[in-house]
């Protein structure tokens, strides 16, 4: 798992289906969980995201005024088992 975290830290752009992508920041070990593999943050207005107008305005204000980036969106990351598939139980536990 630590190897996968290091890969995300070095290349934080994850390509999804249909040409979408998610860019992560602050990839780290999860704070208090048994199901998550990693936590990260991302900009609400990053390519492939669907931000609300409020998110976009808040993010722009933070960048223009050099404020702390509180508008960053949290991401939960789960790596499946090395020799198996991700099951419903793992996904449900990660979501809680």
CA distance 34 to 39: 12
CA distance 63 to 73: 15
Among 60, 87, 84, smallest CA distance to 71 is for: 60
Higher-confidence residue of 60 and 68: namely 60
> Where residue 66 falls among pLDDT bands split at 50, 70, 90?
confident
Decide: pTM greater than 0.75. no
């Amino acid at each position: 798992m630590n190897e996968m975290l290091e890969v995300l830290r070095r290349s934080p752009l994850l390509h999804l289906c249909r040409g979408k992508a998610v860019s992560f920041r602050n990839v780290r070990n999860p704070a208090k969980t048994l199901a998550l593999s990693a936590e990260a943050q991302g900009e609400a207005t990053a390519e492939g995201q669907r931000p609300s107008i409020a998110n976009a305005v808040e993010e722009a204000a933070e960048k223009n005024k050099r404020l702390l980036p509180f508008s960053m969106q949290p991401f939960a990351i789960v790596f499946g088992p090395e020799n198996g598939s991700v099951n419903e139980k793992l996904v449900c536990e990660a979501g809680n």
